[in-house]
């Protein structure tokens, strides 16, 4: 496959170029809003083509990876889809649920593959936790607690903490991931949310911390904590059931790290899991979907759903009023 990168971004540089090449794919072109920056990025990463003209670039490849700031995703995705390209788009898909739906509906109408880069559901640890739940190892699920309060590294302390117009804030950045994790692990969508948010040291005009509680159709409760300001909190998730509890520590990460422990009446059991690269798995499953085999790890409707939950959390925090989560359409 020949990939066109849209956005000369950190995530492309640190993870995705390696993931594409690791699957034997070519990265043929990079598009930036400034041609000089695109050329510099291309030179640094050994990419043959570069420029600031998305329309012209689209002829160069088969698939487009969008990792620009969030307010640009919609127009770039629609242009790629109109040119018949398959699209892997970063989360959050867009600045509103309506925009995200428009993107995914356009992809469906054009018959191209559209995926959301929710990498956590590609990790060996999360897949193992889901397997334990589905295998009945903890009985009926009572609750899920997700700890995703991190310290935003200095090189990412830009638009995420200062610019609502670019989609900044911890809720569009991290709550979307937690929403996808909850949906992936429990196989159901949140129905209602209550929430609070705060600016606790980094956010300037946007929230940098949030806590929320979601009710699920099965009766399970989900607690989601995300932040940019917690240097030593560590990440993880716990799933508690009638017959056991799963403790997955250090697993809300970009790398295949962490540990899983299952606790039940039988005692404590360390659970091994695959340590494959999360982003490579996502690219591999995207490529299979393009070949007509299966679906991407997270498709466009998964991205719409995670965004719907995140914006319900933000609205609940803004108003102090419990919000219904209305995930409609082909989810």
Q: Which is nearer to ligand NDP, 8 or 248 (CB)?
A: 8
Taking the CB of residue 102, how many other CB atoms lie within 10 A of it? 17
CA angle 302, 303, 309 (to 5 degrees): 90
Q: Which is nearer to ligand NDP, 33 or 55 (CB)?
A: 33
Sites of contact with ligand NDP (CB under 6 A): 7-11, 32-34, 37, 67-70, 90-91, 117, 119, 156, 158, 173, 254
| Closest distance to ligand NDP from the beta carbon of 245 (Å) | 27
- The Cα–Cα gap between 164 and 128 comes to 36
- The Cα–Cα gap between 6 and 31 comes to 5
| Closest distance to ligand NDP from the beta carbon of 324 (Å) | 26
For 153, the 3-state DSSP assignment is coil
| Closest distance to ligand NDP from the beta carbon of 157 (Å) | 10
Q: Which is nearer to ligand NDP, 88 or 132 (CB)?
A: 88
Q: Which is nearer to ligand NDP, 135 or 153 (CB)?
A: 153
Q: Which is nearer to ligand NDP, 213 or 297 (CB)?
A: 297
| Closest distance to ligand NDP from the beta carbon of 175 (Å) | 12
Q: Which is nearer to ligand NDP, 166 or 185 (CB)?
A: 166
| Closest distance to ligand NDP from the beta carbon of 96 (Å) | 15
The two beta strands, 63-66 and 244-249, are unpaired
| Closest distance to ligand NDP from the beta carbon of 92 (Å) | 6
Q: Which residues contact 280 (CB under 8 A, 6 or more apart)?
A: 18, 19, 22, 23
- The Cα–Cα gap between 148 and 237 comes to 8
Q: Pick from 15, 86, 20, 62: which is nearest to 283 by CA?
A: 20
Taking the CB of residue 271, how many other CB atoms lie within 10 A of it? 17
Q: Which residues contact 41 (CB under 8 A, 6 or more apart)?
A: 8, 13, 30, 32, 47, 50
CB 118 within 8 A of CB 177: yes
């Amino acid at each position: 496959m020949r990939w066109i990168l849209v956005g000369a971004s950190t995530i492309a540089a640190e993870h995705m170029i390696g993931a594409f090449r690791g699957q034997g794919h070519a990265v043929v072109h990079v598009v930036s809003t400034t041609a000089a920056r695109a050329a510099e990025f291309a030179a640094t990463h050994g990419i043959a083509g570069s420029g600031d003209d998305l329309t012209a670039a689209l002829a160069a490849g088969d698939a487009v990876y969008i990792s620009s700031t969030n307010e640009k995703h919609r127009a770039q995705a629609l242009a790629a889809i109109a040119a018949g390209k398959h699209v892997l788009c970063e989360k959050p898909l867009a600045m509103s649920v309506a925009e995200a739906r428009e993107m995914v509906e356009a992809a469906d109408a054009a018959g191209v593959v559209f995926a959301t880069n929710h990498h956590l559901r590609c990790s060996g640890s999360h897949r193992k936790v889901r397997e334990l739940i589905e295998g009945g190892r903890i009985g009926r699920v009572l609750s899920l607690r997700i700890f995703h309060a991190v310290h935003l590294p200095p090189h990412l302390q830009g638009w995420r903490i200062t610019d609502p117009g670019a989609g900044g804030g911890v809720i569009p950045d991290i709550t979307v991931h937690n929403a996808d994790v909850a949906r992936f692990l429990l196989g159901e969508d949140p129905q209602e949310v209550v929430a609070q948010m705060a600016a606790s040291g980094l956010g300037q005009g946007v929230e940098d911390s949030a806590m929320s509680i979601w009710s699920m159709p099965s009766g399970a409760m989900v607690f989601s904590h995300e932040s940019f300001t917690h240097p030593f909190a560590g990440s993880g998730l716990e799933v508690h059931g009638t017959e056991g509890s799963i403790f997955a520590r250090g697993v809300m990460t970009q790398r295949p790290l962490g540990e899983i422990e299952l606790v039940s009446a039988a005692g404590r059991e360390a659970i091994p899991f695959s340590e494959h690269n999360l982003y490579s798995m996502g690219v591999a499953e995207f490529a299979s979907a393009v070949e007509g085999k299966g679906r991407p790890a997270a498709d466009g409707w998964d991205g719409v759903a995670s965004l719907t939950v995140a914006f319900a959390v933000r609205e609940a925090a803004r108003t102090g009023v419990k919000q219904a989560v209305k995930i409609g359409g082909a989810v």
